[in-house]
Amino acid sequence: MQVALSLVLLIGAGLLVRSLSKLKSADLGFQRENILLFSVDPQLIGYQRDQIGPLYRRMLERIGTVPGVQSVTLARQGLLSGGGTQGSVKVPGHTSPADENTFTDKGGEKEWNAPWFAQVGPRYFETLGMTLLRGRDFTAQDHETSMKVAVINEAFARYYFGNEDPLGQRFDRGNDGGEVEIIGVVKDAKANSIQERTPRTFYVPFLQDPGAWRETTFQIRTAGEPTNLAGAVRSVVQEIEPNLSLFRIRTLAAQVDESIGQERLATTLASLFGLLALLLTCAGLYGVLSYSVSQRSSEIGIRMALGAQNGDVLRLVIGQGMRLVAPGILLGLAGAFGAMRWIASFLYEVEAVDWPTYGLIAALLLVVALLACWIPARRATNVDPLVALRSE
């Protein structure tokens, strides 16, 4: 039972480790390296909504002049920050399904089946290393009085336009912003979490969306280590507005890592429990076989006196251990088939029944069990036949 339970725990840990590895190497659709983030909220110091847009423009201009800054932009919410905004749209020629732009029940949770959108600054896609497939990025010319525009992701383009070219097409945001023209298509990128299926998303210039004129996250691409520029950026912001506080200062890489913090914790705990179970299993095997060897020392000595070789004694003792281990492994595999389905929802791009993981963990347990059996077996070969016969 120790062998079986330890195998179940180790397989669970192995699946979680593989899942975490997949999460760390997932294609996010943006480049996480060399990006410094910080957030501000001018409303906390009395700024009115119509004053916030000009303040953000001054901050973008000044931060862009800091040595070591390659580009700077902003967004209403940071990527993988755990927040996001959804809004209904109407696309001419698109027949909306009955559940579009409505709340639906997804496994007991209410989910709004509507596009995500983000209010972003100029050079947003360039700064974050997001691949612009067609069209153009936002510029400083996309402001309050210019034509309202949007950039959409691949999922949005497929859903609403199919094989039709979306550039130049228009859609209506309703009360959120009226009609906008599509000027670009960007590669799908993770927005709220790595595990989620990339939602259909559109991006609009923050100056054309008054809803963005509040708490905002700035993203700065740097030539070197991002945190080294935090002090210089803070000084520039203080020169523009001494009362404005910067908070949530971190790198984008750190924010991505933090977004999978629960998965990392679960993997660590499962690994620790699995290793503890493996250690207890090894100790149990070692103790059982050591006791068996001490009880059978006379028998082993007689066998050796009658011509048994060291290899024969090793096979005798190790075989006894394997008769405990083999059924435990089979029972553990059977238990894992059922138990791992409980953690299937926590796995990312890994099946609950993953044969390579099952085989590798079973082989690892078998090797460790052999090592635990080998020590008492080796001790058995040192039994002196004369001593054993004299005791008889």
Tell me, yes or no, whether 173 and 293 share the same domain.
Answer: no
| Alpha-carbon distances, residue 389 vs 218, 304, 380, 382 (angstroms) | 84, 10, 15, 14
pLDDT of residue 219 exceeding 90: yes
pLDDT of residue 388 exceeding 60: no
Tell me, yes or no, whether 276 and 127 share the same domain.
Answer: no
Under the banding of pLDDT at 50, 70 and 90, the label for residue 183 is very high
Rounded CA separation 356/332 (Å):
16
pLDDT of residue 45 exceeding 80: yes
Please report whether residue 116 resides in a domain: yes
Please report whether residue 229 resides in a domain: no
- pLDDT for residue 288: 77
Asked whether the CA dihedral 278, 280, 282, 284 is positive or negative, the reply is negative
Mean pLDDT check: name the lowest of 152-156, 195-199, 309-313. Answer: 309-313
pLDDT of residue 389 exceeding 70: no
- pLDDT for residue 242: 93
Please report whether residue 231 resides in a domain: no
Average pLDDT over residues 196-222: 85
Tell me, yes or no, whether 13 and 46 share the same domain.
Answer: no
Tell me, yes or no, whether 321 and 368 share the same domain.
Answer: yes
Locate 239 and state its tokens.
């020169």
Rounded CA separation 265/260 (Å):
9
Rounded CA separation 392/389 (Å):
5
Mean pLDDT check: name the lowest of 123-132, 191-200, 324-333. Answer: 191-200
Q: Which of 224, 253, 277 is the last residue of a domain?
A: 224
pTM of the entire structure? Answer: 0.77
Please report whether residue 378 resides in a domain: yes
- pLDDT for residue 235: 94
Please report whether residue 287 resides in a domain: yes
Please report whether residue 278 resides in a domain: yes
Tell me, yes or no, whether 208 and 308 share the same domain.
Answer: no
Tell me, yes or no, whether 203 and 317 share the same domain.
Answer: no
Tell me, yes or no, whether 60 and 167 share the same domain.
Answer: yes
- pLDDT for residue 176: 60
| Alpha-carbon distances, residue 295 vs 37, 94, 109, 139, 318 (angstroms) | 68, 82, 61, 84, 15
Percent of the chain with pLDDT over 70: 88
Q: Is 213 or 333 the better-scoring residue by pLDDT?
A: 333
Please report whether residue 145 resides in a domain: yes
- pLDDT for residue 110: 52
Residue 111: give the domain boundaries.
Answer: 35-224
Asked if residue 118 lies in contact with residue 216, where contact means CB atoms within 8 angstroms, the answer is no
Q: Which of 195, 224, 253 is the last residue of a domain?
A: 224
Tell me, yes or no, whether 316 and 356 share the same domain.
Answer: yes
Tell me, yes or no, whether 58 and 161 share the same domain.
Answer: yes
pLDDT of residue 261 exceeding 90: no
Tell me, yes or no, whether 16 and 42 share the same domain.
Answer: no
Residue entry with tokens 């050796």: 304
Please report whether residue 255 resides in a domain: no
Average pLDDT over residues 148-154: 94
Tell me, yes or no, whether 123 and 173 share the same domain.
Answer: yes
The mean of the pLDDT values for the chain is: 85
Q: Which of 170, 202, 224 is the last residue of a domain?
A: 224
Query: Based on the structure, what is the number of domains in the chain?
Result: 2
**pLDDT tens per residue across span 79-127:** 887 666 777 788 888 777 766 666 555 554 555 677 888 889 999 999 9
pLDDT of residue 392 exceeding 60: no
Average pLDDT over residues 128-141: 92
pLDDT of residue 240 exceeding 90: yes
Under the banding of pLDDT at 50, 70 and 90, the label for residue 168 is very high
Tell me, yes or no, whether 296 and 148 share the same domain.
Answer: no
